[in-house]
Amino acid sequence: MVCINKSDINPENATRIRQYSQKNGIRMVGEIPYDRTVIKAMVAEKAVVEFDAGPAATEIKKTVEKGCALSFATITLSERINHTRKIIPWRP
């Protein structure tokens, strides 16, 4: 899985990452824009999603949800093949 951090700072690089991911069958789970609030959250020693509901926090939440959903779906498929592991789903 791929998530592009500060995706809006260098659009050419973001495009290359998207193309590479698509070409190599790597799932894109999110793109987090640059947001000065991230720095403020770090100074306050808080998680971005606790500190503010701005653009970065919104995309981080979406990315985590999508990544976890994809991971759980993959693990669930594996579990069907291999019944020896116990799967405990993560719930936010």
Q: pLDDT per residue over 37-56, tens digit each?
A: 999 999 999 989 888 889 99
Of 77 and 60, more confident: 60
Q: What is the DSSP letter of 31?
A: E
* Contact between 47 and 41 (Cβ < 8 Å): yes
The residue-averaged pLDDT of 7-22 equals 92
Query: Which of 55, 63, 65, 57 has the alpha carbon at shortest distance from 89?
Result: 65
Q: Which residues pair with 4 in a beta bridge?
A: 31
For position 72, what pLDDT does the model report?
62
Q: Are strands 28-32 and 2-5 parallel, antiparallel or unpaired?
A: parallel
Residue 92 predicted with pLDDT over 50: no
Q: Which residues pair with 2 in a beta bridge?
A: 28
